[in-house]
């Protein structure tokens, strides 16, 4: 079996309130939309209080090149990932020198060598020179969950190894100042920056049944859904693709998928004790609640993370995971972790909490 040992997170220094973001967007979009005041209600409906960015809000007042944005990405990806790693490992008996495999997950910038190589060269990090590296790009909001799934599979094959999943996104770099589309307005109300690191080990490292056990995972990709979520690469950066159909897909397509996955383990949704859900937005959370017939109490942590950080793409579900383990440790029993991403795709992980 595989176990989740610890989760660490990090956010950048510029905290921007939703009201500030709303006022900025009104100035930017008011000449393009006659009904701008009505459209700006989307900021209120997000239930987001604040978000964290790597740049001050003044940065958004002028256009920036793809090159400039990517330089900001690389610099902050290294720093935020480093912080998340140290936060993850500080309460464990392990240091960076003990890590056997690192999976680095991201979709909001480009780097060759990949960011994990930059982390290896950081003077404060002491990775083994023979560490295995698996950079994963392009999974968007599903990336953090997919990283956990791949780490689970690796730790089962190599039960003596310690695996570190690092998920990092600088979402504000997708903001295109001259893109006056409604999808860009929605993105302006929703996305933020953050990083998370998760330590996963196999049976031979953690010789106890206590803790958060990873039972199984399921990856799914739906045909004819390439336009639901992703990037449209432009000369000045990454233009967000964000379909309004996502909540209906959650409600109509995801539940049968989850039901079958649970049935494979002789479980149903009513058997689950906890839900770790990627907060894509309030409508997506409501779609989870309607599809799974669960209450706002059961999505409380998901809603709290959205409220305090916005949608940070791939690391967001790992923030939910951390908050659950830290503040609301579940009772003995099964739970499920779900995130959705481009493709259109889902990643589902069955977990079991054992004290």
Among residues 272, 275, 276, which one has the least CA distance to residue 319?
Answer: 276
Name residues whose C-beta falls within 8 Å of residue 52's C-beta, 6 or more positions apart in sequence.
Answer: 11, 12, 13, 14, 15, 16, 192, 193, 194, 309
Token digits of residue 140: 């968007």
Check: CB of residue 170 under 8 Å from CB of residue 72. Answer: yes
Residue 193's beta-bridge partner residues?
170
> Which residue out of 141, 196, 321, 351 is catalytically annotated?
141
- Beta-strand ranges (E) seen in the chain are 2-10, 14-17, 50-53, 101-106, 132-137, 162-170, 193-202, 211-221, 229-234, 237-242, 274-277, 333-341, 345-354
Q: Report how far apart the first and last C-alpha atoms of the chain are (Å, whole number).
A: 16
Three-state DSSP at 182 gives helix
Q: Mind spelling out the 3-state secondary structure of 296-331? A: CCCCHHHHHHHHHHCECCCCHHHHHHHHHHHHCCCC
Check: CB of residue 14 under 8 Å from CB of residue 54. Answer: yes
Token digits of residue 49: 């209080």
User: How many Å separate Cα 196 from the centre of its chain?
Assistant: 8
Residue 141 annotated as catalytic = yes
With both helix axes pointing from N to C terminus, report the angle between 300-309 and 282-292 in degrees, rounded to the nearest 10: 170
Q: What is the DSSP string of 48-80?
A: --EEEESS-GGGGGS---HHHHHHHHHHHHHHH
Distances, alpha carbon 40 to alpha carbons 122, 124, 192, in Å: 43, 44, 18
Question: Catalytic residue positions?
Answer: 141
């Amino acid at each position: 079996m595989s176990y989740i040992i610890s989760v660490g997170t990090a956010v950048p220094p510029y905290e921007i309130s939703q009201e500030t973001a709303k006022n900025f967007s009104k100035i930017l979009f008011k000449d393009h939309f006659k009904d701008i005041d009505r459209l700006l209600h989307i900021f209120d409906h997000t239930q987001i209080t604040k978000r964290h960015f790597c740049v001050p809000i003044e940065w958004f007042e002028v256009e920036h090149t793809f090159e400039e944005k990517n330089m900001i990405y690389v610099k902050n990806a290294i720093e935020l990932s480093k912080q998340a790693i140290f936060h993850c490992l500080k309460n464990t008996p392990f240091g960076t020198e003990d890590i056997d495999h690192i999976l680095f997950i991201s979709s909001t910038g480009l780097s060759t060598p990949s960011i994990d190589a930059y982390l290896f060269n950081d003077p404060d990090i002491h990775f083994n020179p023979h560490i295995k590296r698996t950079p994963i790009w392009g999974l968007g909001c599903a990336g953090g969950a997919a990283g956990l799934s791949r780490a689970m599979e690796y730790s089962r094959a190599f039960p003596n190894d310690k695996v570190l999943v690092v998920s990092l996104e600088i979402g504000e770099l997708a903001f295109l100042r001259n893109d006056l589309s409604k999808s860009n307005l929605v993105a302006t109300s929703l996305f933020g920056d953050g990083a998370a690191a998760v330590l996963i080990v196999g049976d031979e490292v953690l010789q106890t049944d206590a803790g958060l056990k990873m039972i199984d995972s399921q990856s799914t990709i739906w045909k004819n859904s390439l336009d639901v979520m992703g990037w449209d690469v432009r000369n000045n950066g990454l233009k967000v693709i964000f379909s309004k159909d996502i909540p209906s897909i959650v409600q109509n397509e995801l539940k049968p998928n989850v039901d079958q996955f649970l049935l494979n383990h002789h479980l149903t949704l009513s058997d689950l004790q906890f839900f770790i859900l990627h907060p894509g937005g309030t409508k997506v959370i409501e779609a989870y609640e309607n599809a799974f017939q669960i209450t706002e109490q059961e999505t409380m942590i998901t809603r709290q993370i959205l409220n305090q950080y916005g949608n940070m793409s791939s690391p967001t579900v790992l923030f939910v995971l951390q908050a659950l383990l830290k503040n609301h440790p579940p009772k003995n029993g099964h739970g499920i972790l779900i995130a959705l991403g481009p493709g259109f795709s889902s990643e589902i992980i069955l977990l079991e909490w054992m004290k």
